[in-house]
Structure formats: C-alpha cells, structure tokens
Structure 1
Amino acid sequence: MRAAIGRFGAAHVLAFGLPLALLAGAWGSQLFGGLYPCQLCHWQRWPHYAALAIAGLAFFVPGAGVRRALVLLAAVAIAVSGGIGIAHAGVEYGWWPGFTACTSTLQLGGLDAAGRLDAIMHAPLVRCDRAPWTLAGISLAGFNAIFSLAGAATIFLLTLTRSVR
C-alpha cells in the first residue's frame, strides 16, 4: 500500500479506494444482509461507479496534470454521491418529502402470467422514506453522505497541497 501511495499519491489512492469500499459495503448489505436498495440508494451508487472508473483510468494515463484532473473529477463524483446521500437521508428522517417512487425487486424472466402476478404481489417493496438499518441513528444514506463528503474534501485538500504523481 505504501508503494501505491508513494507512486500515485494519497489523493489518488483515496479517490479509488473510497468508492470501492462504499460500493462493496452497499453490495454486501444487499447481497448478504438482505437490505434491498430503493431508487435513491441506486442514485447514490452511480456517482461512485463513475468515480471508480475515473480514478482507475488515472492510474494508466501519463502526465501528472492529467492524473490530477482525473483525481479531482473523481472527487467531484464522490461529492455528488454525498449530496444525494444528504437528500436521501433528509427523506428518511422526514426533513422533506421524497421525490421518487418507491421501488421493488422483481424477477419476472421466464414466468407465465400467473407467475408474474404472484411475483408482483409478493415482491418486497423498498420505501425511500424508511431507513432499513441505522447505527446511532444514522442511516446508510447518512453514512454515505458523511464518508463521501469527508472523503471528497480530503481528496481536494490532498490534491491542492501535494502533487498527484
């Protein structure tokens, strides 16, 4: 890890590692914890996918200036996810009304009409205004906002105070 930080810079490693860790946590809670994502949860993931791709690309481009720009762009994407996390947490905590429909996880492939109706009627409804899990009163959306915004600010500070190699 120290060699990666020395070669690419702490900001670059954080710009890649933070969305990777947050996405791993989101997918882990979905696949192993049974916490199905709502529409706003999905919206929070997309900027992290973008940040992961952008920061990953920055490992392979020549020139410190281009790498620095890509790392900063990844930080912007991470901050966008944090902003969506604030919006989602506000909906969960009742600070403002939701602005999206709730979602459901349907698997309709290969079913006949009766099977599809049964799947629709028994699919879990995932509400955007209810936090399925909290720790110390902070929901997953709240944690995403905290980690994403703090991480993006750290990346910006590291990039402005140190060179991205």
Structure 2
Amino acid sequence: MTRNRLVLLAAGGSAALLLAAWGFQYLGGMAPCKLCIWQRYPHGAAVLIGAVTLATGWRILPWAGALAALTTAGIGLYHAGVEQGWWEGPTTCTSGPIGGLSAEQLMAQIMEAPLVRCDEIPWDLFGISMAGWNGLVSLGLALVWLLAATRRA
C-alpha cells in the first residue's frame, strides 16, 4: 500500500472515530465526560496532519500522526481503567468520598459536580467501553501511521 493510502486510512480512521463520538453525543444523547473530550483532540490533530501530509507530501508529518494516535490511545486506555475502577481518574469527573463533609460542603460538592462522570460506562460492546475501543482502535491507527512514516512515496 502506498504512503498516501496509509495516511488516508489513518486520518480517515480518526475522522470515523470522531464522527462516531459525535453520533453518540448528538444522535444518541450521550453527553461526553471530560476524558471523552480529551480523547477527541488528538483525533482532530490526526485528521489535520493527514490533510497536510497529503497536500504537501512532507515526510515528517506521519510521525506526528502516529504521536497523535498514541496520545488518544493512551487517554482512551487510561479512561477505560478509570471506568473499570483500576485507578482513580480526575477528581473533577469521578465520584469521591463524602465522609466528614458538612451538609453545606456536601451541597457545594453536589452543585459543583459535572453532569457526566468519567468513572461510569455509558455504553459497551463485548464488555469493552467506548473509551476502551478508542484506545484499541487508536493503537491500530498508530501502527498505520508508523507504516506510512517508514514507507517511501
């Protein structure tokens, strides 16, 4: 497969994942949490990197695409671990202990809490959450980017 086709496949994969995320959000009514939003930025960067690579042929850019894919894979796998309770996520989007709080402190915590929590799984397929799927698919996209980076035009 040519480098341009590999770039198109990798950037197209990121575009497809973004479209799926927006579909779940806007058509499925599933609001994203903070970590879900963080996973989208590197995909947007990968789509832009793909477009610039195809337009200019710059050989260094597929390496940047691989970095973007690895970044979103890392965030996605981290998020999946938060959902599974393997480690704690950001305190701004996970549940925390409420012991020792006064009624006023508890009410303030409730009122300041985000609407969508990062430690809940709103949807899964074969026992893998959306964050987990993003992490796995993005690892595959990183491999495609690396193939593109090492392939001659």
**TM bracket (short chain):** 0.7 to 0.9
Tell me the amino acid that sits aligned with residue 141 of structure 1. A
Q: In the alignment, what sits opposite 2:73? A: 82
Identity %: 47
Which has the bigger relative contact order, CA under 8 A and spacing at least 6?
2
Instruction: Show structure 1 runs of 5+ residues with no match.
Output: 104-120
1:100 CA drift (Å): 4.1
1:130 CA drift (Å): 0.2
Correspondence list, 1:35-114, <5 A? 35-61=30-56, 64=57, 66=58, 68-102=59-93
Q: Given the two structures, how large is their TM-score scaled by the length of structure 1? A: 0.75
CA offsets per residue over residues 45-93 of structure 1, 9 Å max, x none?
01111111111111211xx4x2x21122112101100000011000000
Q: In the alignment, what sits opposite 1:137? A: 127
Q: 1:48 to 1:100 in 2, by over 3 A?
A: farther
Q: CA RMSD in A?
A: 2.3
SS in 2 for 1:59: helix
Instruction: Show structure 2 runs of 5+ residues with no match.
Output: 95-110
Q: How many residues align?
A: 137
Q: Given the two structures, how large is their TM-score scaled by the length of structure 2? A: 0.81
- Contact 1:15/1:71 (<8 A) preserved: no
CA offsets per residue over residues 109-150 of structure 1, 9 Å max, x none?
xxxxxxxxxxxx8xx821100010011110000000000011
- Contact 1:11/1:159 (<8 A) preserved: no
Tell me how far apart the structure 2 counterparts of residues 31 and 134 of structure 1 sit (CA, whole Å).
18
- Contact 2:7/2:148 (<8 A) preserved: no
Tell me how far apart the structure 2 counterparts of residues 9 and 146 of structure 1 sit (CA, whole Å).
23
